[in-house]
Amino acid sequence: MAYQQISTSANQTMPFQLNHKTALITGGGSGIGAAIGRVFAGAGARVHLLDLSLENAEQVAHDIQKNGGIAQAHQADVTQQQSLIYLVNHIANTTDSIDLLVNSAGIAHIGKLDTTSETDFDKIYNVNVKGVYNAMFAVIPHLMQQKSGVILNICSIAAMLGLPDRFAYSMSKGAVLTMTYTVARDYLVYNIRCNSIAPARIHTPFVDQFLTKNYPGKEQELFDKLSKTQPIGRMGTPEEVAHLALYLCSEEASFITGTNFPIDGGFVTLNT
């Protein structure tokens, strides 16, 4: 039986490098998206940070540049397809290629079915579902043309099991998960890989703002309570998610597509 020779990274001095790769990161101005931008730039990628807040994206880009990385900030509303297509085409015209798309833009919502208004439902859908669709829709023609590329969607453990008071949010992340699976299957012939990461609670500025707004004076108490819902005893960090993202977008993960990766401190398997 003849076996295909598989190339390896044995001769590389450093694994998980993204040298000469162009990466687009939605939600790149804060939280997990910002951490992914910093880690990707540190691995040699040319990073484009897309965020609704240009100020936040510019600050992250400045931090990356100060540390010797290559980054550019762009104001982007992922709910607006035509403006997103225009921006992606502009980036494509000024770079050699678009190699990586990370969909990190997203918003949260707390509420059960009967406490979720139509307005709140539509807002979650437009950002978390349509926003992911819009970004992939804008990027996929470029990946198809060059017959290579990686799409990574930031999902959530909310797509994998029933979380209390997360009706609309869980709906949106369930859609992200199934979009990941179908895109992986439909574009495999173009050598395009598509995976997702499903974090549990990650300590981002959003968590701190949420606690300050909803539990004034009891922030530390609630933070400790939320931390302990992960069997490992703490929340994850954006950097931990970013390093998993780096692996999945690197050549070392070239055999991985159509897969969802929980990063949850044991929440899914050890809490059930």
Give the Cα-Cα-Cα angle 184, 108, 131 (nearest 5 degrees).
40
Query: Can 169 be counted among the known catalytic residues?
Result: yes
Alpha-carbon dihedral sign for residues 55, 57, 60, 66: negative
Q: Catalytic one among 3, 86, 133, 169?
A: 169
Please tell me the distance from the alpha carbon of residue 229 to that of residue 68, in angstroms, as a whole number. Answer: 38
Partners of 48 in the β-ladder = 24, 72
SS3 letters across 30-85: CHHHHHHHHHHHHCCCEEEEEECCHHHHHHHHHHHHHCCCEEEEEECCCCCHHHHH
- Output DSSP code: residue 229: T
Short-list 96, 86, 47, CA closest to 70: 47
Pairing of strands 100-103, 70-75: unpaired
- Residues forming the active site: 169
